[in-house]
Amino acid sequence: MGPDRQAAYPLGRTASATTPIVKRFDNPEKVLVFDQGRLELITLCGRAIGKGSYSPGWRWSRCATVTAQARGGLPELVGVVLAGRAKVLIHDGSEIDLNPGDFFHITAEDDEWVVGYRPCEILYLSGVEALIEQLHRQD
């Protein structure tokens, strides 16, 4: 392997040090099903990534209760809307519309619900562990 090929790997890694990993939500590692929704989880490089699928009429405040954690405050959620529309009620009373392609950063204190008659799908890039914990509290 020539020097040009080695340069294609980040941080000085060689081809033998980088193992490709491919995962899909078609075969999630964990699935939580709740009223009007579903949360699927995969882990990649030790990081949890989730896909939420929500039916029309779904509202987060009806699915889980949020309690501030003893340290660190409320968990934060970072994600992107893949399909459908949602609205978020921020704890200060303001509202945000979320449409396909919109990335967001909210806290678990903020309420979220599906808008319209189409299902909504959200990819959670960060904070999915907190969502799972909140849903497990309802069991």
CA geometry: angle 79, 129, 41, nearest 5 deg: 75
Amino acid (1-letter code) at residue 106: I
Amino acid (1-letter code) at residue 111: D
pLDDT of residue 17: 63
pLDDT of residue 60: 86
Q: Say which CATH architecture domain 22-137 belongs to.
A: Sandwich (2.60)
- Integer Rg of the chain from CA: 18
Q: Could you tell me how many residues make up the chain?
A: 139
Q: pLDDT tens, position by position, for the chain (139 residues)?
A: 444 444 455 555 555 567 888 899 999 999 989 889 999 999 988 889 999 999 999 998 887 655 444 334 567 889 999 999 999 999 888 999 999 999 999 987 788 999 999 999 999 999 888 777 766 655 5
pTM of the model: 0.77
